[in-house]
Chains A and B, each alone.
Chain A
Amino acid sequence: EPEVTQTPSHQVTQMGQEVILRCVPISNHLYFYWYRQILGQKVEFLVSFYNNEISEKSEIFDDQFSVERPDGSNFTLKIRSTKLEDSAMYFCASSLTGGTGYTFGSGTRLTVV
């Protein structure tokens, strides 16, 4: 069964450093998403991406965050200057068309120290 692949599985970074989280969505999917989950809490929407542009973003997704689909297969989330409160599990998801079901990746656990 096709899956969404995320790398790395765990990243530790110092506060103020830039991090890039990588995702390879399912190949024929058209919609891409990032969500995050602070330990033990709910899953929060960050951003959705379609047709090479952001279609919606949440209040969490401020100027420190950016997304890119650089080569038609990868989908990346960049955090420019990490804060302690950015520590969370970050999930990438993709869907063929909106509303037909979302496939989530295995997640990247980001720890900011």
Chain B
Amino acid sequence: ELKVEQNPLFLSMQEGKNYTIYCNYSTTSDRLYWYRQDPGKSLESLFVLLSNGAVKQEGRLMASLDTKARLSTLHITAAVHDLSATYFCAVDMNRDDKIIFGKGTRLHILP
């Protein structure tokens, strides 16, 4: 059964700092998704990574995928308070049936 692990689960950091969230998964997959969730809200799609070596950037966030290591990273550059949220990675196992989510990383950025 596919397992998806994120770390850290909680992260408190100061504005202006850089940090990386890691997402490991247990079985072969070449499709990985990052979502953002604000408290009480829905899941906002951030990145869709569809192949080994894929790198995507949007503003201060950059995501990458290494399918051989079964690892994706979400890098935050010069964090700002507005990025405070919970970030989920999710892995697509069978392409059609479902995606499996990690537990999420709750990111709190201190002004």
B98 and A107: CB pair below 8 A?
A: no
A45 and B95: CB pair below 8 A?
A: no
- A106–B101 CA distance with the chains assembled, in angstroms: 17
Secondary structure class of chain B's binding surface, majority of residues: loop
Chain B positions near chain A (C-beta within 8 angstroms):
31, 33, 35, 40-43, 45, 48, 50, 88, 90, 92, 94-104
Beyond known contacts A33-B98, A45-B100, A106-B41: 12 more, CB 8 A cutoff: A42-B103, A42-B104, A44-B101, A45-B99, A48-B97, A56-B97, A58-B98, A98-B94, A99-B92, A101-B45, A101-B48, A107-B41
Check if A75 is an interface residue, CB within 8 A of chain B.
Answer: no
Residues of B within 8 A of A50 (CB): 96
Chain A positions near chain B (C-beta within 8 angstroms):
31, 33, 35, 41-45, 48, 50, 55-56, 58, 91, 97-107, 109
B103 and A102: CB pair below 8 A?
A: no
Q: Which residue of A lies closest to B88 (CB)?
A: A43
Q: Taking the nearest CB of chain B, how far is it from the CB of A5, in angstroms?
A: 11
- A98–B99 CA distance with the chains assembled, in angstroms: 10
A106 and B42: CB pair below 8 A?
A: yes
The 5 closest A-B pairs by CB, nearest first: A98-B96, A99-B95, A56-B97, A43-B101, A98-B95
- A35–B102 CA distance with the chains assembled, in angstroms: 13
| Interface pairs (16), CB distance under 8 Å | A42-B88, A43-B88, A43-B101, A43-B104, A56-B98, A91-B42, A98-B94, A99-B50, A99-B95, A99-B96, A100-B48, A101-B33, A101-B45, A102-B33, A104-B35, A106-B41
A105 and B97: CB pair below 8 A?
A: no
Residues of A within 8 A of B103 (CB): 41-42
Of B42, B45, B92, B94, most buried by chain A (CB within 10 Å of CB) is: B42
Given A42-B103, A42-B104, A106-B42, CB of A98 within 8 Å of CB of B97: yes
